[in-house]
Amino acid sequence: MAHGPWRFVLFLVVLCSTTDVDADMPVVLKGRRGFFEKNYHSVNDIVVSPDGKLLFSIDSGGIVRLWDLEKRKILHQITCKVGTQSVAVSPQGDRFLSAGTQGGIGLRDVRTGKEIYVIPGMAQHIQFAADGKRCYFAGAVAGASPANFLSVIRICDAATGSEIRNFTIPLSNQVAFSPDGKRAVSIDVGSFSNQSLAVWDMATGKDVLQLDGHAIGERGAVAWSPNGQHILSCGNDKTAIFWDATTGMRLHTIEIGRKCFAAGFSPDGKHALVGCGIHTVKRGKKSKPTGIMILLETATGRMLREFVTEGSRVTSVAFSSNGLFAIAGAADEKIYLWDISH
């Protein structure tokens, strides 16, 4: 049954107590199958509201779900376009953006779900400015041939959706924005064997740094730390690299041992998460495929802990706003929460 633009959903799977989250046995959140879909969808992106009370998730079927983190249940869900890939919440926590390869970039009211505006075009990566007055988008634009495809970075007024400026960069499969909105980092998809990350000045559209030598491959991830000091990249080469965001110096290279698909920093920038592909765990005579999320220490690059999902690769990662919980979105439409306060 629909109520206005929101559809309420009451399906929740929990693998431990709803009043606590065990460090080894996570709470598992699972959304209902799409109304016209019989297959589950990958959780493409997850983000926690600034006050830490709400979790937003978006899947490849175009479903945005709003979760109550304390009660571990879905409050609302709304259907966007299939192919939606990214979600962002305003610093005030009252509006959210969703975007992808179809249907434009939409701004909605968190409380009512009402659509405020839609910006034409596609974007795989979106972010609000720290003051909430601007928003940043990055997505591919078609050229005369696939070899001429580019990515465009757009800066818009968050209140109206009006474009302030844009500039093009070489085709990129991942883009992250600095917390002050002055720079962006992108992964060049040109030569997979000799890739580089480029840092761009958002005011001029010029590249100001090249981070060379990370063969990320066709799929990977990049993240910028909240304090603006570090960049984290990871990818198909089964490594993660911490970079100095000011100088471009490689700080730590971590051998993850499996393909990586997601990356994110803790609110204080002291830790990071990397989401990885499926690997096999042997239990007696049986083997079980699982996904892995790894907790890293930014200052040293040390791998601190591993978190195992039930049976699918980790496609998105996040920390709670207080940094006490690690959150993973998986390709089987489940969201996992671990207590990392111990």
What CATH number does residue 261 fall under? Answer: 2.130.10.10
Specify the pLDDT at position 1: 38
- Strand-pairing partners, residue 154, are 137, 166
In a domain, 195, yes or no: no
| Furthest-apart CA atoms within the chain: distance in Å | 60
Specify the pLDDT at position 286: 67
pLDDT at residue 14 greater than cutoff 90? no
The domain of 338 spans 12-41+220-342
In a domain, 304, yes or no: yes
In a domain, 1, yes or no: no
Q: Is the whole model's pTM more than 0.75, yes or no?
A: yes
Instruction: Give dist(CA 2, CA 186) in Å, integer.
Output: 40
Per the model's pLDDT, the better-predicted residue between 193 and 63 turns out to be: 63
Q: Are 258 and 306 in contact (CB under 8 A)?
A: no
In a domain, 79, yes or no: no
* Burial class, 248, CB count within 10 angstroms (exposed 0-12 / middle 13-18 / buried 19+): middle
| pLDDT band for position 156 (cuts 50, 70, 90) | very high
Specify the pLDDT at position 201: 97
Per the model's pLDDT, the better-predicted residue between 82 and 250 turns out to be: 250
Pick left, alpha or beta for residue 47 (phi over 0 → left; psi -120 to 50 → alpha; otherwise beta): beta
In a domain, 330, yes or no: yes
In a domain, 335, yes or no: yes
Range name among 72-76, 95-99, 166-170, 211-215 with the lowest pLDDT average:
211-215
H or E stretch at 47: strand 43-48
Instruction: Give dist(CA 19, CA 110) in Å, integer.
Output: 25
The total of structural domains in the chain comes to 1
In a domain, 183, yes or no: no
Q: Provide φ and ψ at 193, rounded to 5°.
A: -85, -15
Q: What letter represents residue 122's amino acid?
A: M
| pLDDT band for position 92 (cuts 50, 70, 90) | very high
Instruction: Give dist(CA 107, CA 128) in Å, integer.
Output: 11
Mean pLDDT of 78-96: 86
Mean of pLDDT over the chain = 82
pLDDT at residue 241 greater than cutoff 80? yes
pLDDT at residue 171 greater than cutoff 60? yes
- Strand-pairing partners, residue 47, are 56
Mean pLDDT of 203-209: 94
In a domain, 196, yes or no: no
